[in-house]
Amino acid sequence: MIRRLCLISGLLFVSMLQAACGPAIEPGSSLHYGLTLAPSGIDPHLNASSELTIPLGSVYDTLVFQDPSSGAFVPGLASSWTISADGKHYTFDLRRDVTFQDGTPFNAESVRANLEYITNPDHHSQKALFLLGPLDRVQVVDEYTVALHLRQPYAPLLDSLSQVYLGMASPTALETWGPQDYGFHQVGTGPYAFVEYVPNDHLTLRANPAYAWAPAIYQHKKPSIETIVFRFYEDPATRALALQSGEVDIIGEVPARDAVRLVEGGGYVLHPVPIPGQPTQYLLNTRRAPTNDLRVRQALLRSVDRLALTRTVFGDESPMADGPLSANTAGYFPAFAPFHQEIDAASALLDAAGWQRATSDSARMRNGQPLALRLVAPNWGSNPEVAELVAAAWRGLGAQVELEVAPGFGPLKEAQAAGDYNAIGVNFFGHDPDLLRAFYRSDGLYNWAGLADPELDGLLDQGAAFVGPDSERTALYARVAERLADQAVLLPIRDYVNLVVARGTLDGLSFSSQGWNPFLIDLRLRP
pLDDT in tens, 288-315: 999 999 999 999 999 999 999 999 999 9
Domain boundaries, the chain: 25-273+499-525, 280-495
CATH class of 25-273+499-525: alpha beta
pLDDT in tens, 67-92: 999 999 999 999 999 999 999 999 99
| Percentage of the chain lying above the pLDDT 70 cut | 95
d(CA 500, CA 261): 13
Is the bond into 290 cis (omega within 30 degrees of 0)? Answer: yes
Burial of 225 (0-12, 13-18, 19+ CB in 10 A): buried
Q: Give the architecture (CATH level 2) of 280-495.
A: Roll (3.10)
pTM here is 0.88
H or E element that contains 206: strand 202-207
d(CA 314, CA 495): 10
Query: Are 277 and 495 contacting, i.e. CB atoms less than 8 angstroms apart?
Result: no
**Which of helix, strand or coil describes residue 33?**
strand
pLDDT in tens, 5-58: 333 333 333 333 343 444 578 999 999 999 998 887 899 999 988 889 999 999
Chain Cα centroid distance, residue 222: 26
What average pLDDT does range 243-252 have in this prediction? 96
pLDDT score of 506 more than 70: yes
pLDDT score for 268: 97
